[in-house]
Chains A and B, each alone.
Chain A
Amino acid sequence: MKTFLFPAAAKHWAWLVLLPALALGLANMYWDYDLAFLSFKSTQLARLYDDGIFSGNMNFTDELAAIGMIVGLMLMGFSAERVEDEFTSTLRLKALSWAVWCHFIVLSLAILLVHSAAFYHALVYNMFTVLILFRLRFSYLIWKNNREAEA
């Protein structure tokens, strides 16, 4: 079974996308920082979407940050390893399964324990946990396997 992966070099590009997007997202979330050129008036948006749900001015800084983080994390998680073979695919699948389990355990705990505005923040962070946990777990499995191979 062939799984689509980005070239190995894409892993380096991932940081260039992820770090600015993370900085932008945090600045937007905690200091209300907006990029002026991403502001649109409701009339412009109404033309764009034609559904009348936009009642005021909208700024797309947080959307840009979120999509940047998703792109960065996807590049990081789904770039080929230097030697990509079936064993690496097995490790990737194990890591992905582990990350999905953790993601939904964390989400379930958040549903039970976190409420109101804090729950909104928990949901925002949890959008990225599956990709972050997957990449961390995959790197750990690769590292552990390399260490055992060297022993």
Chain B
Amino acid sequence: MKNQLRPLRQLANLTQQELAERVQVSRQTIVSIESGKYVPSTVLALKLADKLGCSVADLFVLESDDWK
């Protein structure tokens, strides 16, 4: 799964720490999501989308491998 968290966060002019505080997770969690190592839960994905003013579909995009 690809995600657009980093560009959308930067577009919202937020640091990783600021975004982490707004969605009540650690900065390490944001780093792991941005690097694609961790796929967040639906609740966290919705929180992130809410704080970045976009939809979950803007943030996360399925890749062909995800269908296998």
Contacts and interface: CB of A to CB of B under 8 A. Distances in A.
A95 to B, nearest CB: 15
A139 B31 CA distance: 18
Interface residues of A, number: 10
Interface stretch (A44-52, A83-91, A115-123, A126-134): A83-91
Contact of A86 (B27, B31, B35, B40): B40
B24 interface: yes
A87 B27 contact: no
B24 A87 contact: no
Contacts of A148: 31, 35
Contacts, number: 31
By secondary structure, the A interface counts as: helix
A145 B32 contact: yes
Contacts of B28: 87, 145-146, 149
A86 B46 CA distance: 14
A85 B19 CA distance: 14
Interface string A130-151: 0000000000000001101100
Contacts of B29: 85-88
B38 A90 contact: yes
Nearest to B39: A90
Contact of B25 (A87, A145, A146): A87
Nearest to B40: A86
B31 A83 contact: no
Contacts of A145: 28, 31-32
B44 interface: yes
Contacts of A88: 26, 29
Nearest to B44: A86
